[in-house]
Each structure stands twice: as structure tokens, then as C-alpha cells.
Amino acid sequence: MKNKTSIYNITLITIAFLVSIVLYNKLPNEMPIHWNTAGEIDNYGPKLFAAFLPPLIMLFIWGGMLFTPKIDPKRKNYSKFNTSYTIITNVMVTFFFILHIVVIISSLGYNVPINKVIPFMVGLLFIVIGNYLPKSKSNFFFGIKTPWTLTNEDTWKKTHRLGGKLFVLSGLAIMISSLFFEGNIQFIILMISIFVAGIIPIIASYFYSKNSIK
């Protein structure tokens, strides 16, 4: 499993770098690096930066996800959710690979509905994370890490069970909004969804811990 995962990620990272290298001379000196809520380009960056940053991020994610279990004081727990950890690693690398290809295509002058594609991808990423988050075990690098989840196994389980559900619901909301809404409405739904998935489980972990102490 680990070898297949490494081959998969190395292949994607290599393709991402090769795409940038092969198409480098065809890319404009200034490439789009940011789009507004209407899907219009509102910021550009140097070609060298924009063409190679996504592949470097992919490399950093893959390397980081491989390295962190080796230095985590709770490293033994990783074997208990290795499949989930591996899938999320693959999905995150894939996410940035697709993002890279979208940016390259857009830079070459093709019309890409960024305000639809990127939110849809973010929503899908949330759903995948939400499905595997409850399967994670206590560690210092992956998951919802608060003073209460890290010191109480029951609090960790309850928090990640809630977090998983909220990530899936938020992901669905983001995906649906990308299909049916644009502009400020889509942005508001995105921000609310991120808040729901990212902040509520943190707050809930405190109350879970408080109740478990009683």
C-alpha cells in the first residue's frame, strides 16, 4: 500500500513539474494567481513563481505527510489509521495537481470557470476529509488538535466524529453553491462552511472534555 501510494504521488508530482518545464516558454511572463468571486483574474505573479509553486506544494505535502509520523510522539497511533491517512495524503496531492493544471490551462488563454471549478474541488476535498476524519487516532499533526482532544481519547473520538459530519455537510454546501451560485452568495456560503467545519468542532471539544471530567 505504501509503495503504491509513493508511486502515485511521485508520478503526479513529476508530471506537474514536467508540465511546467515543457510549457514554460509558452506561458506568459505574468501568470494569474488569484481570481475574485466573479471568477475574474485580479492578481498576477511572476511565471517562475506561478508555474512551479503548485508542484512544490505537492512535494511538500507528500514529504510532510511521510515525515510527520516519524517524529510524532504518538507515532504508534498512525498504524491504527494508516489507510485513512494515506487516502487523505493522496487526495491533497491530487487537489493541488488539478489546481496546477487549471492554472496552466488558464494561463495559456483558455477560458476556465475558476469560480466553479475551485469551489467544487474544495467541497469535494472537505467531503473526503470528513469521511476519514473520524477514523483518525490521537496525534500531534493530523486532525482537530486542541488541549482537550490531545489529552482525552474519548474527547478526540467525539470531536472527530462531529468534525467528520460537519466537514461532509460543509463540503456538500460548497459543491452545491459552486453549481448554482456565483459572486458574493457563493463566497458567503464558502466562509460559513469553513467556519462550521473548522471552528465548531474546536469549541465542541472543550464541552466534550468538560462533560467527560464530570
Residues 64 and 14 occupy one common structural domain:
yes
Q: Is the whole model's pTM more than 0.75, yes or no?
A: yes
Residues 17 and 66 occupy one common structural domain:
yes
Q: Which domain holds residue 163?
A: 113-214
Q: How many CA atoms lie within 13 Å of 82's alpha carbon, on the beta-carbon side?
A: 9
pLDDT single digits (tens) 93-150: 999 999 999 999 989 988 888 888 889 999 999 999 999 999 999 988 889 999 999 9
Query: Per the structure, how many domains does the chain have?
Result: 2
Residues 94 and 4 occupy one common structural domain:
yes
Residues 30 and 120 occupy one common structural domain:
no
Mean of per-residue pLDDT scores for the chain: 90
Residues 141 and 194 occupy one common structural domain:
yes
pLDDT at 33: 83
Residues 123 and 151 occupy one common structural domain:
yes
Task: Please determine, for residue 4, whether its predicted confidence score (pLDDT) is greater than 80.
Answer: no
pLDDT single digits (tens) 35-64: 877 777 788 889 999 999 999 999 999 998
**Mean pLDDT computed over 159-172:** 96
Q: Tell which of 78, 112, 146 closes a domain.
A: 112
pLDDT at 199: 95
Q: Tell which of 112, 140, 163 closes a domain.
A: 112
Task: Please determine, for residue 79, whether its predicted confidence score (pLDDT) is greater than 90.
Answer: no
Q: Tell which of 51, 84, 112 closes a domain.
A: 112
Residues 155 and 84 occupy one common structural domain:
no
Residues 126 and 158 occupy one common structural domain:
yes
